[in-house]
Structure 1
Amino acid sequence: MNELKKSRRNFILVNRSGKAPISNVAVEKCDALNKQDVVKVCQNASSIYHCIGLPYKEWKEKLPIIMDNIIESASRVEAKIVYADNLYAYGPQKQPFHEKLTYNPIGEKTRVRAEVSTMLMKAHEAGKVIATIGRGSDFYGPRVRNSILGERVFKHLIEGKKVELIGDLKVRHSHIFIEDFAKGLVKLCNEPQAEGEVWHLPHVEAKSNQEIVNMIANKLSVKPKYRIANNLIVNVGAIFNPFMKDMKELIYQHQYDFIVDSTKYEKIFGSHSHSFTDGIEKTIKWYKDNN
């Protein structure tokens, strides 16, 4: 929303509550699972940013319906779709993640992400809509609470609690500052040459989660303590705990280097990534201001 404000374009936030998290933003209530609702709210749109997030357990049933509703609504008014996506469709890979990789889904969550991305690109290829996909790894930054570098890291360090992470803390893992992701999506919307393609939005050089936690802790002048869910704990916990069951499919992301290659985007549109130092400072300030 902040990036759209900077662009000085008229926009409307659409969500289930009909309430905006920040002031001075037009907002409309809509059920994305109801095609008539989506068609109605998009009737005057020139661009549609699809940034809908759902709990893991709802992905298989609802994500394809939502994508179909957005494609249909966009096609009626010839609006461009900009889809904010993650890297799950690629599944485990033995190399940095780039846009030409073949999808390698290994379970329900990775499979449905591949399915909805393919739906959108096929609709573009068929001439039904104009679309582009912007992908990023795990977010961090202001307002990002439920992520690997969310409350369980920043807030816990500020409050003197144990940091909660999963997997091997020493493997490198790409993260993207939320403002950089948003800026990239707006850029893709505004650039005709972005249409019909997948783009990995700019990521800084990957660091291990341990390195990042140490950077945050040093900024706060604290010594980090950890509670780690390793591979064994995740596999055992998956028997009893729904969250751990979800993590079992995705643990590969934290067992081996998980590195995003955003060269394609940066060569054409340039890099606008926050350094970890700047991103961490902004995030700490937001958590302290919103505790």
Structure 2
Amino acid sequence: MTKSYLITGGAGFIGLNFVKQMLQESNVRLTVFDKLTYASHPDEMDDLSKLSHFRFIKGDITLQHELDRVFDEAYDAIIHFAAESHVDRSIESAEPFIHTNVLGTYRMLEAVLKGKAKKLIHISTDEVYGDLDRDEPAFTEQTPISPNNPYSASKASSDLLVKSFIHTHQLPAMITRCSNNYGPYQHEEKFIPTIIRKALNGEKIPIYGDGQQIRDWLYVEDHARAIQQIVESGTTGQVYNIGGGNEKTNLDVTKKILTHLGISHDQIAFIQDRKGHDRRYAIDASRLKRELGWTQATSFDEGIEKTINWYRAKYDQSEEG
């Protein structure tokens, strides 16, 4: 039987990779609803719209009259990616993050409550947990949330909304919290694409503080597979951590990319640290592995090579154009 899914934010980095993953299945029909902000991929939406089991609708998840166009049918699930996600931007101006991430999630919850979808999978982040000391164990689903910047606070707020609807209304919903993603289609403002772009252009590569901030890196296609398994087999009411098991300092990631490109580490330039910069993230994904059988398929070395090659090809095409 064909399953019909609504994917908010499906023109963005992680959402687009998930859409491409799901379209490999023969028994799904996808509707992507996306505002097409600066970080989206409208050309990809145009290409995918040629497929009979895909449709794209442009709109804002916070505006009910625009959402009404999408809910012309009841969906088997809403997979809710749509969010403002760049920490630096949230520090400069938090209001768009509060508006999109909190109000937009509320709109999705209301839709499920009204019978417009059978369940909601809310895509969140490990940043809601705050940060860790070097010797602390990784975040589990039981770790209290303690966000440290406006972006993570807005995502924590949306998580709490979801949990409140689960408890109060017995709403069929799940929350996923992932570690730092990397891979194709990520916007150039993010850390790894910035390194690759500036390295190839011969520019200085800015590293906040001492570069010893630790992140747990997850290849985006592994994340997409995890979400697919959660959509198909996850337990209502659960939180699922999705981690890469690849803890690396920002400086080590930078040096690895430069070495791979054959570029001198002298391009690295240390700059003043970001306000409220979390020191370490690490995710314990044992629940996901134990309950749903997910495993990480892509090592960091393999994933970073794929990512570098994807961006090099992208820049080569831009120069030819």
TM over 0.5, shorter chain: yes
1:52 aligns with 2:82: yes
User: Could you tell me which of 64, 73, 77 is aligned with 2:102?
Assistant: 64
Distance verdict in 2 for CA 1:39–1:124, change over 3 Å: farther
CA contact (8 A) 2:74 2:117 kept: no
Instruction: Give the 3-state SS of the residue equivalent to 1:64 in structure 2.
Output: helix
Distance 1:206 1:71, change over 3 A: same
- Count of aligned residue pairs for this structure pair: 271
Corresponding position: 1:14 with 2:33:
yes
State the shift of 1:116 in Å.
0.9
Q: 1:147 to 1:88 in 2, by over 3 A?
A: farther
1:35 aligns with 2:64: yes
Deviation at 1:14, TM superposition (A): 1.0
Aligned-partner residue type, residue 83 of structure 1: H
TM-score when normalising by structure 2? 0.77
CA distance 1:104–1:287, shift in 2 (3 Å): same
Matched, 1:263 2:286: yes
Q: Given the alignment, which residue of 77, 89, 96 partners 2:128?
A: 89
Structure 1 residues 20 and 189, CA, compared in 2 at 3 Å: closer, same or farther?
farther
Q: Distance in 2 between matches of 1:61 and 1:89?
A: 17
| Distance (whole Å) between structure 2 residues aligned to residue 202 and residue 217 of structure 1 | 25
Identify which of 252, 258, 261 aligns with 1:217: 258
User: Residues 243 and 282 of structure 2 are in contact (CA less than 8 Å); yes or no, is this contact kept in structure 1?
Assistant: no
TM, length-normalised to structure 1: 0.84
What are the Cα deviations for residues 143-200 of structure 1, in whole angstroms up to 9, with x where unaligned?
Answer: 112464333111112222222232332343212212122221111111143x211111
**1:30-179 counterparts in 2 under 5 A?**
30-42=59-71, 43-54=73-84, 56=90, 57=94, 58-75=96-113, 76-94=115-133, 95=136, 96-106=138-148, 108-146=150-188, 148-179=190-221
| Cα-to-partner distance string for 1:51-81 (whole Å, 9 max, x where unaligned) | 1122523112332211111111122224211
Secondary structure, counterpart of 1:199 in structure 2 = strand
Residue 312 of structure 2: aligned partner:
288
1:105-146 Cα deviation digits (max 9, x unpaired): 345433322211011122122345311111112221111124
Structure 1 unaligned residues grouped into runs of 5+: 235-246
Deviation by residue 1:247-280 (Cα, 9 ceiling, x = unmatched): 413x1x2xx3322222221222231241111111
DSSP-derived class of the 2:100 partner: helix
Whether the aligned pair in 1 keeps the contact of 2:62 and 2:99 (CA below 8 Å) is no
Q: 1:177 to 1:167 in 2, by over 3 A?
A: farther
- Give the AA of the match of 1:85: S
